[in-house]
Structure 1
């Protein structure tokens, strides 16, 4: 944010920055932080020898390269997304390897089953393993952010009965049929002046997926129109319908069937749900890391017990 001021002070020319600038600046920083989420925890203090580095990083780097090659062959050509997903695979491989090594070692030493060993592994060192779970949540969020490179944005003017087709980044086709516009006067209810609702039926590869509505509202207390977005959410992607504009608001308000034309904006955004999943995993890891262990609670309560028992012990000794 201070770059325009510095550049203007040096060159004497005003410089404006927008999303492309911040993407170029923040992407390398974010990518380094993501990689460090995997690298940092497994570099032993004062034991970062060449042999240890090769041992710890050979498999994660191999998986990263394999994922990058697989994504490329699958048609992923956006450089930023390709690099981000590859680094996500690198970090996840490191975390999974650490969990596997710890679980396997505990199962062998204690003679426990793998599920029990994993549970005890996490509960006996909550800070370490809770931190790893936090990193998993961060990786999921990065994975979702990279999907924005494949967002689809399409607009079309539509009359009732018109259809619009939009292709998802995953290859399937949405067919949207505009059913019509219903307008109602608010009559002062909830300070609503009027409300216009566009109804759109949704098909995916010829299979009906239901009805979505998108609307505009105007309230008595505001001159600005409020837009309600129609959303269809799945694990892979979200479909958004936005009522951008109406041809004839006054005609629509008077129930004129000829005044039903609208401008419809359609967005398809991959992996949006994974932001929420990642946030939940991050929160879970935070709770695990901050949850006090049994030994710590015992140590914290021990001074109180000593304070209670010491006078009683002294009285017993005096009585003797």
Structure 2
């Protein structure tokens, strides 16, 4: 399957707003995010059912699917930004019309539960998507690090990008090295739920980069064991762990998390690079990653860096 690149954002373009996962009760954050985008020089178009609630889950899912189809079909909308994560996007995958998406490749930005959409769209169409900031979680008040990386990658057609971790995120090195592959990044829990479905991209020669939040170590162990038992870790050319934030009040069940991450670092091909602590996940210092882009990645005692082929076009 050929790789599809969306067009880069330009000042004055229209950004469509969708809520494929959970709604947000924080209307002030949404208003601040919209004002932020408009202040930068973009137009904003919320989908018809943006951030709405429905008593019937089937009706709600139909509305979400219609919103996505409308945004991809629109001649006005240049990029599509997601409201937030939470849950629900996995329920949309069977009903999405991937031909509409393939005929109208556009920037789709979001992470966490949006992982399901991001990976499914890449698996079905070859379109590069962007695992990065969302309206109600970051874009209402982005940190300079998050902001700079987000706009640089969405607005620079034809350019390679160097993506490096923030110095405030300490790295744990498991296996140094350099490799090439397709970047597959997302939330571990959501990604794990796609295993065995037609919406899971091939892991062959991929750089797998996973993160999660508020998961006990025993749960992370179970999720990674599932990937290993499905023989998916056998095929990756590298494994990176992002941020695994947990509620500090939760007991540390199942052994220290780093021990578990290191255990699965030994499950990939010998010599393949692996490290933990990348600036990706539920963190204020969030990198934007082009899911499906070809990349070169390097893990040394000095840090982690990813060099990607141009993920957007003119």
Q: TM-score range by the shorter chain?
A: under 0.3
Of structures 1 and 2, the one with the larger relative CO (CA 8 A, separation 6+) is: 2
Structure index of larger Rg: 1
- Hey, which of these two has a bigger chunk of helix by percent? 1
